[in-house]
C-alpha cells in the first residue's frame, strides 16, 4: 500500500464527466482491535463511510510538510499540503484541499444529492455528474496519511490509554484509536525522503456536528461533458 507523492497526485484524478450514485450505505463493521479495523478500512471503497456508522457527523483535517534539511539538521525549505473534510450525516460533505505545489487547490461540496467542484479555486463552482474518481478522492484523503504507518511494527508496541483512546508510540511518531470503535482519530509521523529531506504528516478526526456549518456555492455552472483538471 505504498505510493509516492500522494498529495501531489491526488488532484490529477479529478477528471469529471460521467454519472454514478453518490449516496452510500453505512457499512456495519465488527472488529476486535485497531489493526483489524485498519484491514476493514483498507478494503472499503470509502473509509469515511465506516466512520459514519458511529459518527454520523465529523470533521477530518490533515497536514503534510515536505522539508529540506541541511547537514546541520536545520530545515532550509518547507512545502505544506492541507486537506479538510466536513461530513454531516449522509446528506452533506465539504472538501477543501491544497496539495503540494505545483498541483492546484480544489474545493468540493456534496449537498443533498448534488455535487459541486471548484478546481484551481476559481470563482465559479461546477455542478457535475458523479464520477468514480470523485469517490476515490475520499479514499485517497484517508490513505495518503495511513500509508506512512507500519502497522505490523505497531502491533508489537504496548498502547497507552488516555481520554478513551488507545495510543501507539514509536519514537516521536504516534497514532491514537477510539478505545470503543478502534477507528483512528489522530496521529503524527515523519519519514526521511531522498536528497536530505523529510515529510511530516499529521491528522485529526473530531466527531460531532456542533461546529459543522454547511456551505452553499454562490456561483454555479452546470458541467456536462467538459474536462476539468
Per-residue pLDDT tens digits for 51-109: 998 999 999 999 999 888 777 777 777 889 999 999 998 889 999 999 887 888 889 99
Lookup: cell for 130: 458523479
Q: Rounded to two decimals, what is the model's pTM?
A: 0.79
Q: What distance in Å separates the CA atoms of residue 190 and residue 201, rounded to the nearest whole number?
A: 6
pLDDT lower than 50: segments of the chain: 1-27, 225-229
**Contact in structure between 117 and 125 (CB atoms under 8 Å):** yes
Burial class (CB in 10 A: 0-12, 13-18, 19+), 1: exposed
Query: How high is the mean pLDDT of the chain?
Result: 81
- pLDDT for 12 equals 34
Pairing of strands 106-111, 92-98: antiparallel
Amino acid at each position: 500500500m505504498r505510493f509516492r507523492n500522494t498529495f501531489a497526485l491526488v488532484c490529477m484524478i479529478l477528471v469529471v464527466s460521467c454519472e454514478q450514485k453518490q449516496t452510500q450505505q453505512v457499512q456495519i463493521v465488527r472488529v476486535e482491535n485497531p489493526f483489524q479495523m485498519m484491514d476493514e478500512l483498507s478494503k472499503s471503497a470509502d473509509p469515511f463511510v465506516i466512520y459514519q456508522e458511529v459518527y454520523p457527523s465529523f470533521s477530518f483535517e490533515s497536514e503534510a510538510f515536505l522539508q529540506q534539511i541541511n547537514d546541520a539538521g536545520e530545515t532550509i525549505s518547507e512545502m505544506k499540503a492541507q486537506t479538510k473534510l466536513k461530513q454531516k450525516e449522509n446528506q452533506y460533505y465539504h472538501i477543501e484541499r491544497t496539495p503540494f505545489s505545483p498541483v492546484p487547490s480544489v474545493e468540493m461540496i456534496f449537498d443533498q444529492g448534488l455535487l459541486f467542484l471548484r478546481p484551481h479555486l476559481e470563482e465559479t463552482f461546477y455542478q457535475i455528474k458523479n464520477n468514480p474518481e470523485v469517490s476515490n478522492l475520499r479514499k485517497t484523503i484517508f490513505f495518503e496519511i495511513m500509508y506512512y504507518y507500519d502497522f505490523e511494527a505497531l502491533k508489537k508496541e504496548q498502547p497507552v490509554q488516555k481520554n478513551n483512546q488507545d495510543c501507539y508510540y514509536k519514537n516521536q511518531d504516534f497514532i491514537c484509536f477510539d478505545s470503543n470503535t478502534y477507528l483512528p482519530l489522530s496521529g503524527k509521523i515523519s519519514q526521511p525522503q531522498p536528497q536530505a529531506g523529510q515529510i511530516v504528516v499529521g491528522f485529526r478526526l473530531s466527531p460531532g456536528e456542533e461546529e459543522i456549518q454547511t456551505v452553499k456555492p454562490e456561483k454555479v455552472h452546470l458541467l456536462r461533458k467538459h474536462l476539468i483538471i
